[in-house]
Structure 1
């Protein structure tokens, strides 16, 4: 009986229902196996706390529960929003930005990755309103670029020109709308923005709107 209560608490923290609901499910035989082979209604149980999810975010969804409109969480199983500890995005991509987005319920990892002291490189592909003028790479790499309304210059960032109006930008900071503001400071406007990499992580062939759990090795590589 004590073991059943402990199991019910564990599954309730994973969002499968209230403790009473899970205790009833256990009595009905809906919970089977144990350890890594634990199943609920025949399906493997979700990862324990420390879970990290990688999503290929589509346009039109926001990351903040405070914003209006559709949220990226809608693409995940509803029970994921009932997990304890809570699941959060690792930083934010605005509604119009697509690409690699991480989620985790590991608070220490979350704060480490979004800390201003984090040097995790993030790469973005930008499509611009006007042709590049040729000075942008030096400006972004200078370590002297100041964004409007701020009093601290940006850290050096690497710009690779990929076309007349396209470029790949790699930076190690995560200031508010940073990529869009950087190009605005260079006299241009970002029409489309896609995050391609987060550290060593890439989207691979993950379809837009889909997601997957990171492996233990991938999580360890995040530091």
Structure 2
């Protein structure tokens, strides 16, 4: 791929804008030598205004999504892309969220521009558990764990029972819920089916990958070891 197209696909600008960067001498190699648009050069050796390029295609990251942000590129209001470098929203292929967290749910969100990896993560065949911490409006009754684990719970408007899920009571109004599928607003709807209401919801883990101490609104790039942890034992 030509260097101009490569830089444009990373979101630095249109091809015309990237060409202007070359003419202005803003694109150089690691030694500071100005590059030309037809120079053969590896991604790792390119600098723009003295800074290395953003990661090449194949980028996967984890984001600690705060409450109030929407997993969308177009919706009104605050978007998850507002928490990332502006160029990331313009990358091609698109950097997409792997599934969604609704506006009022916080926690671990994965994003990638690797379509095959995205499909592998969200596929039911992967059986990646998702762990949520829920704060409830009312005390737990005590029978929710058995109900959620039964494999017979039906959500309103659906005709297929949920897969068994695990519930751990942390306090009278706090619970840890582990899901093995990803239906629309599933955690909130499960507690509603049990006669309760979720006041706050946070996703802390996907597969073997935990949010850890990543602060709200922050993100980090995932490496091969992270992906092995994601799909590893959990």
Q: Cα deviations across residues 47-66 of structure 1 (Å, max 9, x unaligned)?
A: 11111111111111111335
Distance 1:51 1:148, change over 3 A: same
Q: Which residue of 1 aligns with 2:104?
A: 96
Q: Which residue of 2 aligns with 1:28?
A: 24
Q: Cα deviations across residues 119-148 of structure 1 (Å, max 9, x unaligned)?
A: 111100000000111101111111111111
Q: Which residue of 1 aligns with 2:13?
A: 17
Q: Which residue of 2 aligns with 1:140?
A: 148
After superposition, where does 1:116-131 map in structure 2 within 5 Å?
116-131=124-139
Task: Give yes or no for contact 1:161–1:168 (8 Å, CA) kept in 2.
Answer: yes
Taking the aligned partners of 2:201 and 2:45, their CA distance within structure 1 comes to 41
Q: Cα deviations across residues 70-97 of structure 1 (Å, max 9, x unaligned)?
A: 1111111111111111111111101110
Output the TM-score relative to the length of structure 1. Answer: 0.92
The alignment covers a number of residue pairs equal to 219
After superposition, where does 1:41-190 map in structure 2 within 5 Å?
41-190=49-198
Distance 1:216 1:30, change over 3 A: farther
SS for the counterpart of 1:8 is: helix
Q: Which runs of 5+ in 2 are unaligned?
A: 30-41
Taking the aligned partners of 1:205 and 1:37, their CA distance within structure 2 comes to 32
Two-structure CA RMSD over aligned residues (Å) = 1.6
Q: How far apart are 1:171 and its partner, in Å?
A: 0.9
Q: How far apart are 1:109 and its partner, in Å?
A: 1.3
Taking the aligned partners of 2:199 and 2:106, their CA distance within structure 1 comes to 12
Q: How far apart are 1:217 and its partner, in Å?
A: 1.9
Runs of 4+ in 1 over 6 A off after TM superposition: none
